[in-house]
Structures are given as C-alpha cells and as structure tokens.
Amino acid sequence: CGATSMRPAGLVTTTWGITPRMRPLSCPSKPFITEMTTIRAAAPMAMPGHLGHIVGCAGTEAFIKAFASEVGPANIRVVGVRSHAIVDAVTAGPYTGEIFSAKAQSMDLTVDQWLGGAAQSTMLARLPTLAQIAEVMTFLASDHASAMTATVVNITGGATHS
C-alpha cells in the first residue's frame, strides 16, 4: 500500500508515476508515500561542501508537504523520515560505504572516527540504526499513523530540531 523514494532527482516523476497505483485491492483505504531525507537544511546545520545535499533535502521536505496537499483529497498520505548518518548502513551496501569513506577521508578520519564524531554531535550521542529506521517507517505505514500526512519525522538522535 505504500511506496518509498530515497533519491530527490527522480522524486517528482516517480511519485506522480506511482500515485495512480496507490489503491491496490489489498488496502484500498490506506495508501501512503514515504520519502527519506537526511539532516535538515537549517541555517545552523549549513557547512561547506554540503550545498547540493542541503538544498536537495530542503527540496524533498518541501515536496512532501506540497505533494500531500495534492493527493490528500484522494486519501493518500505523504510522510517523510529525516535521518542522520545511519551507523550500520556502511555494512549494508557499497554505496553508503563510498559516501561515508569520501567524507571521512576529506577530514583525515577513518569512517569509524567520522561516525563517532557524528554520533557525538547529536543530543543522544548516538546515530540511528537501519532497524530503527525500518521500525519508524513500519509505524508510519500502519493504522497507528493514519492521521499523519504532510510531515517529516525526525530520527536523527537530536541532530536537528523539527
């Protein structure tokens, strides 16, 4: 009953493409779309080397709210998940490892050191895990979150303020 898109480049095309198919027989009354962004594009979070990423995340979050207003009348919910670096994502696939490695190397750090510093920069002094992200997304797809739309859930460990 849901769809997830994690890359802003194809966000509009992908989302408009799946919207007509959001009412399958298995769940005719509960369609939803989730989008995933990372740290919010807030002025306190601005830092050199992140312009494209920050603008992309801000655009995705604005899109979530705007698209929810478009599809809400069809009872389709649109929610987002804002994450920080996901601590165990490096072991899940090469793409994240490449991204994190390049970032760590640019700061003369190992990936573990970079992740440790990222964790220490959060209010909880830890980063989210893949399992925690999956649990939040499962909740958002459930009846328990059926009144939620046009919003972004913050699972950064306190790196940003909603």
Nearest partner of 33 among 143, 141, 106, judged by Cα: 141
Q: What pTM does this model have?
A: 0.77
pLDDT, tens digit, 9 for 90 and up, residues 52-86? 877 888 888 888 899 899 889 988 898 988 888 99
The sheet that has 151-155: what strands, in order across it?
Answer: 2-5, 32-37, 77-83, 151-155
pLDDT digits (tens, 9 = 90+) for 119-136: 998 999 999 999 999 999
